């Protein structure tokens, strides 16, 4: 499996943010994002966890759900909204 450059990973992260922004206020699952972004689910989940550490997205999964659902944090949503 080939490695992605940091530049490409940042582009993918920005695409993920756009997808989550378009779905707001509804949460979206990692498999749904991976289907739109045409990447594997594990890679998207890894990027979502990295973005969660920087407070761009948050996990809003129920305790009993196997799927993880994601949405933008309030701060990230407002900043993204200002850019558009």
Q: What is the pTM of this model?
A: 0.83
Q: What are the domain boundaries of the chain?
A: 34-84
Residue 76 has pLDDT above 90, yes or no: no
d(CA 2, CA 65): 32
CB 71 within 8 A of CB 20: yes
pLDDT tens digits for 7-51?
888 898 989 999 989 888 888 888 888 888 888 888 889 999 999
CB 20 within 8 A of CB 80: no
| Mean pLDDT score, 40-64 | 88
pLDDT score recorded for residue 41? 86
Residue 1 has pLDDT above 70, yes or no: no
d(CA 30, CA 16): 10
pLDDT score recorded for residue 2? 61
């Amino acid at each position: 499996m080939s490695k992605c450059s940091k530049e490409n990973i940042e582009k993918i992260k920005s695409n993920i943010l756009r997808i989550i922004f378009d779905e707001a206020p509804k949460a979206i699952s990692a498999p749904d994002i991976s289907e739109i972004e045409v990447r594997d689910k594990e890679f998207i989940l890894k990027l979502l966890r990295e973005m969660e550490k920087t407070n761009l997205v948050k996990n809003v999964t129920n305790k009993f759900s196997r799927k993880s659902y994601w949405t933008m944090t309030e701060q990230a949503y407002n900043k993204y909204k200002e850019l558009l």
